[in-house]
Amino acid sequence: MRLPTIALTLLLLAHAPAHAGKTLDQVRQRAQLACGVSTGVIGFSATDSQGRWNGMDVDICRAIAAAVLNDAAKVKYVPLNAQQRFTALQSGEIDLLSRNTTWTLTRDASLGLHFTAVTYYDGQGFLVPRKLKISSAKQLKNAEICVQSGTTTEKNLGDWFKAQGIKVKPVVFEKFEASIKAFFSGRCQAYTTDASALAFIRSKEAPNPDDYVVLPELISKEPLGPVVRRGDDEWFAIVKWVIFALIEAEEYGITQANLEQMKASPDPAIQRLLGGAEDSGKLLGLERDWAARAVKAVGNYGEIFQRNVGSASPLKLPRGANALWNKGGLLYAPPVR
């Protein structure tokens, strides 16, 4: 039976390689990915004593560089504070923002940006001196609370206490470092930000970590993930699917160490992911082994988590909501097929 012309055209388009988008072309031409990161949040994006960038957000940048350029080292890290981050992406200064940034409707719908995927499920909490003997955020009536400006943290702080009918006094700082310094100098009775960052602040910035406690309440949902500019669907798809591939790799048991052996697996799903049975790369404008390159560079999602914020890191955060969907968590990637 002869297919109608329109149906035949659609069928051919469905199997055609993706056109390389503007951002991908630029990244390849300069042979470098410009990645916006934080000015220093251990576990997510921070420099070590040798000036090398490390963290979960940094590993996402490296994975994308590996998938696109076949070299995880070809990344230019651009440190940005909360006020600078969106402008840098909008202006084209960076190709990707991978900087502990919360996905919200306003940011997703009104800034000309697209959030790609959630790489860390977080929530806002409070750090207080143990000597105050405070066990709940509801005991912070009339307290001065240090917070960074230009963040969802600042807005959540006002919303939550208003809903509780409790008056507090926000003490706002433009820079993360200044807000931490003020809290530990005694300027505020509490400090608020994402719970993951509180763990870092307590363990690394406190004069004596045992003198401080993170309160049990989480007052918000903070889904964190990388952001790209609108208007380049090809680049949006690449960033999104590299992240999904890292999650899929953990689900299938593919690690940095066993990657080469897993390429010989008879499992069709593993073959598809690693470029054995099908060439999914052509649909993204990438090479056949795009996902294998990413896993080889940084490991699967579980390895990234454990190394940077989990049991193998100083933060020792539990997987919690960031466990795979089949292990009690929220991480669920669409299938690579």
Q: Same topology for domains 20-121+224-327 and 124-220, yes or no?
A: yes
Reported as type and span, the H/E element at residue 268 is helix 268-274
Mean pLDDT of the chain: 92
pTM comes to 0.87
Place of tokens 């004593």: 49
Give residue 6's pLDDT.
44
Q: What pLDDT, in 10s, does the model give residues 130-143?
A: 999 999 999 999 99
| Joined tokens for residue 128 | 């207080």
Residue type, 288: R
- Tell me, what DSSP letter sits at residue 125? E
Check pLDDT > 70 for residue 13: no
Percent helix, strand and coil across the chain, each rounded to 5?
45, 15, 40
Mean pLDDT of 99-104: 94
Domain map (residue ranges) of the chain: 20-121+224-327, 124-220
Q: What pLDDT, in 10s, does the model give residues 240-264?
A: 999 999 999 999 999 999 999 999 9
3-state SS class at 163: helix
Give residue 260's pLDDT.
96
Distance CA 337, CA 236 (A): 18
Distance CA 221, CA 229 (A): 23
Check pLDDT > 60 for residue 204: yes
Least confident among 26-35, 57-66, 69-78, 213-222: 213-222
If pLDDT is split at 50, 70 and 90, which confidence band does 333 have?
Answer: very high
Give residue 20's pLDDT.
54
If pLDDT is split at 50, 70 and 90, which confidence band does 79 have?
Answer: very high
Residue type, 127: L
Give residue 47's pLDDT.
96
DSSP E strands, the chain: 33-37, 46-47, 53-54, 75-79, 96-97, 113-115, 120-122, 124-129, 144-148, 169-173, 190-194, 212-214, 222-224, 227-229
Give residue 289's pLDDT.
97
Determine the angle formed by the axes of helices 56-69 and 301-308, rounding to 10 degrees.
140
Query: Which residue has better confidence, 4 or 100?
Result: 100
Distance CA 271, CA 268 (A): 5
CA-based nearest residue to 37, from 9, 79, 83, 87: 79
Check pLDDT > 80 for residue 163: yes
CATH topology of domain 124-220: D-Maltodextrin-Binding Protein; domain 2 (3.40.190)
Give residue 150's pLDDT.
84
Give residue 314's pLDDT.
86
Check pLDDT > 80 for residue 293: yes
Helix residue ranges per DSSP H, 40-151 = 56-69, 85-90, 105-110
Q: What pLDDT, in 10s, does the model give residues 35-55?
A: 999 998 889 999 999 999 999
Query: How many residues would you count in the chain?
Result: 337
Distance CA 18, CA 283 (A): 5
Check pLDDT > 90 for residue 278: no
Give residue 200's pLDDT.
85
| Joined tokens for residue 6 | 């329109």
CATH topology of domain 20-121+224-327: D-Maltodextrin-Binding Protein; domain 2 (3.40.190)
Q: What pLDDT, in 10s, does the model give residues 282-292?
A: 999 999 999 99
Determine the angle formed by the axes of helices 290-298 and 56-69, rounding to 10 degrees.
140
Beta bridge partners of 169: 144
Burial of 74 (C-beta count, 10 Å sphere; 0-12/13-18/19+)? middle
